[in-house]
Structure 1
Amino acid sequence: MATEQFDVVVIGSGPAGEGAALTAAKSHRSVAIVERYFEVGGGCTHWGTIPSKALRHAVKILHDLRRNPLLREFHDASKLTYPQLLASAGKVIEAQVASRRRFYERNRVPVLFGEASFVDANTLEIQPPTGKPTRISGKHIVIAAGSRPYHPPEVDFSHERIRDSDSILRYDQHPFSVTIYGAGVIGCEYASIFINLGAKVTLVNTHDRLLSFLDDEIAEALSYHLREQGCVIRHNEQFKALEARERDVVLHLESGRKIKSDLLLWANGRTGNSDKLKLDRVGLKANSRGQVEVNQHYQTAVPHIYAVGDIVGPPALASAAYVQGSHAVQHMLDPSIAPHSTATIPSGIYTIPEISSIGRTERELQEAKVPYEVGHCSFKNLARAQMTDERVGVLKIIFHAETMQVLGVHCFGDNASEIVHIGQTVMAGSNNDIRYFTQTTFNYPTMAEAYRVAAYNGINRLT
């Protein structure tokens, strides 16, 4: 069997694989990418980030139609069903796939479709959907195989009323009531989507608070807002059993509580797609969640084999994955580069309204005994928010009380994932000082003006 040789072989064409492949190609290295799905883009494009966020956008428009008195003439649009709203994601996915296909064509990166597995430390076997397997060889190999929803063995995911975060995007009915088990990012996003569709939603959290990695104030704002919209949140609950019936599904919890609904969405964890890679052939082993251990440069225990994206675990963000893939290839080219830092990677949570943050939280600073102060701006006080009627939200800037350095930016509200990037830019620059926001002219009226208001609010607190 002939084996084609490449400088870099990438397994997976999601954001992590794309970042690795294009960085290598632009550095004039021969690159091939292996994709087991029939199109490029990975889970991010086909059954994760893109379709779920397109769905969220459609639901947000529906929400705006219902509450805006200027749009009452379009009341029939407010009767759109879940399947109809899902269909809106199709064109976005097609456009994303076409763009990514062009990226590979323009950079002369061949895409080989099939299931990849290791033969030895430099050789992969690719089993296409039909036909005989082929082999390729790489001086370096990047594993960017992504992840999938975790399926506990005691849950029957073949039942039409039991869904995970992939199969929920193929549900063909409009649910009256939904139970979501797992209150992480995915669980909170779907709770927000279904509650704004008019469904009765119960969000079951296995911990004592929502999204504990967030700043406490922002997490509490999300919890309050979900409850205000009608979502029932059950904290500190653990799964016991699931009873799937013809017309409904009943979730049994260890506390003795039973929750009945039309649909159950299991959103409790993800598993790395490492099970078919035959890692044992190269001396590697995945953990219980299918994740591969790497160092700060994304090298595995085999130095010329790298792993990036969801398959290495947190932060498991599409944005971070692309940068991880790029960094891995940069390290191949120059092993002396500094380790990749995740400190400047923002988080984006696409609830309605959104959450986005970067930097440190109040809790982290308190534990580290760092002197800090906080500046706030409530969106309800901004002219732009009043015009758009997006008054729910707050921008929070945390800064060092002595050096004035911005330490964290946390935002809850409409377009938070866009707003946070102003703070990110200042934090990454040489003039990282909260007074930058008071000395800069912002367009008026804008949401960006929140930075000036929050900065003055915080500075005025100093003694």
Structure 2
Amino acid sequence: MPRVVILGGGPGGYEAALVAAQLGATVTVVDRDGIGGACVLTDCVPSKTMIATSVRTSYVRDAGQLGIDIGCTPEEAETGPRVRINAREVNERVKRLATAQSVDIADRLAAQGVEIIRGEGRLVEPHVVEVDGRRIHGDTVLIATGAHPRELPSAKPDGERILTWRQLYDLESLPEKLIVVGSGVTGAEFANAYQALGSEVTLVSSRDRVLPTQDADAAAVLEDVFRRRGMKVLGNSRAEAVERAGDGVVVRLADGSSIEGSHCLMTVGMIPNTADMGLEDAGVTVDSGGFIEVDRVSRTSAPGVYAAGDVTGVNMLASVAGMQGRIAMWHALGEAVTPLKLSTVAATVFTNPELASVGVTEADVTSGKVDARIAHLPLETNSRAKMHGTRDGFVKLFCRQHTGIVLGGVVVGPRASELITAVSVAVQQRLTVDDLAHTFVVYPSLSGSVTEAARRLMKATDD
């Protein structure tokens, strides 16, 4: 019976463990922080739980647009009712749900016969893992140790006023004036959430727009929403240092100016958890950033050693980590496997509205890299969107010029993370816009905009 040893209990690790157990292997998971890893305990699950609270808060504030009177005073008639947030209760719920999810995953592993060892493992040989002096042999070893927030020497987090996103849930009260440094996915999500909860938010971006790696039209919609709701967005502004100043902070910018706030959240990237793990001695190659180099079936440079998740730096999403882990086990244990194809990966920015995308980008099309047609359909034309008072957002669809095969899409709107699934299936299965256009959808529904975009492309293809 093959023996599998997995370092790390996050999505890359626990999904791999479930597959390996299903295929009859003896599986041991070595985990330092808790099953589910940072994704479940400090990152994805907690942040999306808090964001869910912030979205509900926005619904309450906007209720008047739908004719719902929830007792506004005359002074609140223009701005909406004042919503009081109990930050302690919000954070306690966040941590409680994260812990419950971790327990659920651990129970599932135990039910499949997976051994869980609490501790910090390292490779002492390519097929030998050492944990607190104990040596465990594995015919296959998977490294899925994740990553941690990058810290700047000039902005060291203290857990009180200068924070990483993993320290937010210990705050006793809502930040009065929050400065978010970094306008990527993490920065945009937290800036949007805290603004909705009631903080005065300043978002500091070193680039000329927020979400610089996302679809430009989508980023423009979200930045407009941010500003319209009262957020201060500073473009082309690089933070050089963050300092404590009494009961607050001062963020010093490269142009010599400074911003004062009550708290500062640093969202400036991730560092892989690969230090002091014996990787190089075991023949595992890491790049200049410390990320483990893998191929499309998750193999490292050391035979029998695989890696999955953020530790590889490959599209740092929980869904990708889980797929990398599953692919690794299918490959290692002799099952048929399809190599990871990043062009089929769907991703979401959990702002309000959400931004979801899959496949090729408009930049690929306009640059000539991909020969494709584009349909762009504003969500405000959708009847269901009108019923809910939704004005911001769109559906964008890309198809191959002559065959009509769906190559990708972008959705900005409520629950875009769910709406993108239809486009994702189309990309994965190489469906055409005709296939999408002829698919029945509920009326009225937001998903109707996906099939409507397909119909527009179908007509264009016939011309």
TM bucket (normalised to shorter chain) is over 0.9
8 A contact 1:397–1:455 mirrored in 2:
yes
8 A contact 1:116–1:277 mirrored in 2:
yes
What residue number does 1:267 align with?
267
Q: Distance in 2 between matches of 1:176 and 1:457?
A: 47
Number of residue pairs the alignment of both structures matches: 452
8 A contact 1:141–1:305 mirrored in 2:
yes
Tell me, yes or no, if structure 1 residue 35 matches structure 2 residue 31.
yes
**Runs (5+) with no aligned partner, structure 1:** 128-132
8 A contact 2:239–2:254 mirrored in 1:
yes
Compared CA separation, residues 58 and 159, structure 1 to 2 (3 A):
closer
Deviations 1:163-183 (A, max 9, x none): 011112222221121111111
Q: Distance in 1 between matches of 2:155 and 2:378?
A: 43
Deviation at 1:389, TM superposition (A): 2.6
What residue number does 1:236 align with?
236
Q: Distance in 1 between matches of 2:52 and 2:428?
A: 30
What residue number does 2:454 align with?
455
Compared CA separation, residues 459 and 335, structure 1 to 2 (3 A):
closer
8 A contact 1:376–1:458 mirrored in 2:
no
What residue number does 1:51 align with?
46
Q: Distance in 2 between matches of 1:101 and 1:335?
A: 25
What residue number does 1:146 align with?
146
Tell me, yes or no, if structure 1 residue 365 matches structure 2 residue 370.
no
The TM-score normalised by the length of structure 2 is: 0.92
What residue number does 1:166 align with?
166
Compared CA separation, residues 288 and 169, structure 1 to 2 (3 A):
farther
Compared CA separation, residues 92 and 288, structure 1 to 2 (3 A):
same
Q: Distance in 2 between matches of 1:206 and 1:306?
A: 35
Q: State which drifts further: 358-367 or 304-313.
A: 358-367
8 A contact 2:123–2:129 mirrored in 1:
yes
8 A contact 1:299–1:307 mirrored in 2:
yes
Q: Distance in 1 between matches of 2:405 and 2:297?
A: 28
The TM-score normalised by the length of structure 1 is: 0.92
8 A contact 1:31–1:110 mirrored in 2:
yes
Instruction: Select which of 70, 73, 76 maps to 1:72.
Output: 70
Q: Distance in 2 between matches of 1:353 and 1:113?
A: 39
What residue number does 1:15 align with?
11
Deviations 1:10-60 (A, max 9, x none): 0111100012111111111111101112x3110011000000000000111
| SS class of match (2:281) | helix
Compared CA separation, residues 85 and 68, structure 1 to 2 (3 A):
same
Compared CA separation, residues 103 and 159, structure 1 to 2 (3 A):
closer
Deviation at 1:461, TM superposition (A): 5.0
8 A contact 2:95–2:169 mirrored in 1:
no
| SS class of match (2:56) | helix
8 A contact 1:189–1:349 mirrored in 2:
yes
What residue number does 1:130 align with?
none
What residue number does 2:308 align with?
308
| SS class of match (1:457) | helix
Tell me, yes or no, if structure 1 residue 121 matches structure 2 residue 121.
no
Q: Distance in 2 between matches of 1:92 and 1:71?
A: 32
Deviation at 1:308, TM superposition (A): 0.7
What residue number does 2:77 align with?
none
What residue number does 1:254 align with?
254
**Runs (5+) with no aligned partner, structure 2:** 73-79
Instruction: Select which of 98, 112, 117 maps to 2:117.
Output: 112
Compared CA separation, residues 68 and 338, structure 1 to 2 (3 A):
closer
8 A contact 2:41–2:95 mirrored in 1:
no
Counterparts of 1:281-430 in structure 2, within 5 Å, are 281-284=281-284, 286-334=286-334, 337-429=337-429
> Percent of counterpart pairs with the same letter?
27
Q: Distance in 2 between matches of 1:308 and 1:71?
A: 51
| SS class of match (2:343) | coil
What residue number does 1:224 align with?
224
Q: State which drifts further: 206-215 or 392-401.
A: 206-215
Compared CA separation, residues 452 and 120, structure 1 to 2 (3 A):
closer
Compared CA separation, residues 333 and 368, structure 1 to 2 (3 A):
farther
Deviation at 1:411, TM superposition (A): 0.5
Q: Distance in 1 between matches of 2:259 and 2:102?
A: 39
8 A contact 2:14–2:35 mirrored in 1:
no
Q: Distance in 2 between matches of 1:338 and 1:86?
A: 40
Letter in 1 for 2:116: V
Deviations 1:93-118 (A, max 9, x none): 23312320222112100100011112
Tell me, yes or no, if structure 1 residue 86 matches structure 2 residue 91.
yes
RMSD, aligned CA: 2.1
8 A contact 1:270–1:289 mirrored in 2:
no
Q: Distance in 2 between matches of 1:66 and 1:338?
A: 47
Q: Distance in 1 between matches of 2:432 and 2:159?
A: 55
Deviations 1:349-396 (A, max 9, x none): 101111100011111122235432222332222222223333322111
The runs of 4+ residues in structure 1 deviating greater than 6 Å are: 74-77
Counterparts of 1:193-208 in structure 2, within 5 Å, are 193-208=193-208
Letter in 2 for 1:450: S
Deviation at 1:245, TM superposition (A): 1.4
What residue number does 1:444 align with?
443
Deviation at 1:335, TM superposition (A): 8.3
8 A contact 1:66–1:72 mirrored in 2:
no
Tell me, yes or no, if structure 1 residue 102 matches structure 2 residue 100.
no
Letter in 1 for 2:47: S
